[in-house]
Amino acid sequence: MKKKRIYKNLTFQVLTAIFIGVMVGLIWPEVGKEMKPVGDTFISAVKMVIAPIIFLTIVLGIAKMGDMKKVGKVGGKAFIYFEVVTTLALMIGLIVVNVIKPGAGLNFNELEKGDVSQYTANGGEGINWIEFVTHIVPSNMVDAFAKGDILQVLFFSILFGVGLAALGEKGKIVIEFLDKLSLVFFKIIGYVMKAAPLGAFGAMAYTIGHFGLASLVPLGKLMISVYVTMFLFIFVVLNIICKMYGFSLWNYLKFIKDEILIVLGTSSSESVLPRMMDKMERIGCSKSVVGLVIPTGYSFNLDGTSIYLSMAVVFLAQVFGVDLTIGQQVTILLVLMLTSKGAAGVTGSGFIVLASTLAALQVIPLEGLALLLGVDRFMSEGRAIVNLIGNGIATMVVAKSENEFDENKAKKAISEMKLMKQEQQKQAV
């Protein structure tokens, strides 16, 4: 086996880039602020190929599966799983925030506040559900791809896949063409990911330079509480799910470590969506399951976001001295079960969801959201990482339950990963 230098390893490159980004943001904050375009350009480069990759993966998965009943069954299982697990995440968030009480003793008027008017102007009125549902169906196919609207691309891709599968032998030539085309797009994403360290550096330098670590001190207890809850959710709830379905959480986390680090640096789970689809196939999930579960999960299976939302609402109640009853907290749970899905894919969706929830409760002032603006950026990495981990596990659970999981492929992928790690350790010595 040809030896690969440690500095050529993606994990090493991204970790180094994150460290340099933090140092630049701390030592030269003005320079850090100017690094925003570097991180944004990398995210844009990834988003450029997300819509085509989702389209090709879903279409090929459905067309090759052929059985429309099976497609419906996979989709149904995925949605049930999403709802159960995100509800568990919401409940855990509510329990921890009530035990730790991070907002107790804080005075709203004495804390630094940001401007959230752009999020609360319409969000306070609640989410327009008719508009949300009708938005899923694109009025123009090209427009859906141009805007990179995942839900619209998902809808069109499923219809296209079903239509192609219905053609039978006549559609074979189209399937072969799309198969080869998907290889081209995955090759492009391979080139783009070489710039991942630059993207991680730019995003991290900007975050530290713009917001500064000093902004974390007053709301540090909330941030620590959210991260502890996310840690418990991964290593208790998701670990139990992994054991129930016969795979190792630890092996899975090691398998996607590069993706976790890229998300940590960029604060965006979208930055690794194509890579996650590829990795889920490599670890044994069938293309059809990956194509349906991963893109849908990016909109409907937001475990990290659910934890943050439930904790943020109760935190604001504690800051304002509002003693929420058990009934009101159950209402929070029920409202968030809906609103956390309703704002999927919307810019600033976290604040829109929070505004909608506060408006529904009518006991916590909307201006309380302004407290969260500075600290929110430092929790977005955690949310994105938990969302990423949760979606991969959801894919493996659905694949295993549908007998669409290749155990031999999984063992091969894990053993190759371990061999690569041993090789890297030899080089480091």
**In this predicted model, what pLDDT tens digit does every residue of 35-76 receive, in sequence order?**
989 888 988 888 888 889 889 988 888 887 766 777 788 888
- Asked if the structure places residue 13 within a domain, the reply is yes
- Asked if the structure places residue 1 within a domain, the reply is no
Q: Which of 331-335, 342-346, 353-357, 358-362 has the lowest mean pLDDT?
A: 342-346
All residues at 6 or more sequence positions from 105 whose CB lies less than 8 Å from its CB, including other chains: none
Print the domain residue range for 239. Answer: 6-424
What distances in angstroms separate CA 177 from CA 60, 62, 180, 329, one per listed residue? 10, 15, 5, 53
Structure tokens at 367: 């201006």
Fill in the DSSP letter of residue 423.
H
Average pLDDT over every residue of 237-242:
95
Query: What residue spans of 283-406 are helical by DSSP H?
Result: 287-300, 303-319, 326-342, 349-361, 372-401
Reduce the DSSP state of residue 185 to 3 states and report it.
helix
Q: How confident is the model at residue 345 (pLDDT cuts 50, 70, 90)?
A: very low
H/E stretch holding 69: helix 68-100
Average pLDDT over every residue of 280-285:
92
Instruction: Determine the Cα–Cα distance for residues 285 and 26; give it in Å rounded to an integer.
Output: 42
Taking the model in full, what pTM does it have? 0.84
97-124 b/e (C-beta count within 10 Å ≥ 16 → b):
beebebbeebebeeeeeeebeebbeebb
CB 153 within 8 A of CB 51: yes
Fill in the DSSP letter of residue 234.
I
pLDDT value at residue 215: 67
- Asked if the structure places residue 302 within a domain, the reply is yes
Q: How many domains does the chain have?
A: 1
- Asked if the structure places residue 330 within a domain, the reply is yes
Q: How confident is the model at residue 131 (pLDDT cuts 50, 70, 90)?
A: low
- Look up tokens 């998300």; give the residue: 263
pLDDT value at residue 134: 78
- Asked if the structure places residue 429 within a domain, the reply is no
Q: Within 13 A of 309's CA, how many CA atoms are on the CB side?
A: 33
- Asked if the structure places residue 251 within a domain, the reply is yes
- Asked if the structure places residue 62 within a domain, the reply is yes
Any idea what the CATH number is for the domain that residue 304 is in? 1.10.3860
- Asked if the structure places residue 403 within a domain, the reply is yes
Instruction: Determine the Cα–Cα distance for residues 90 and 86; give it in Å rounded to an integer.
Output: 6
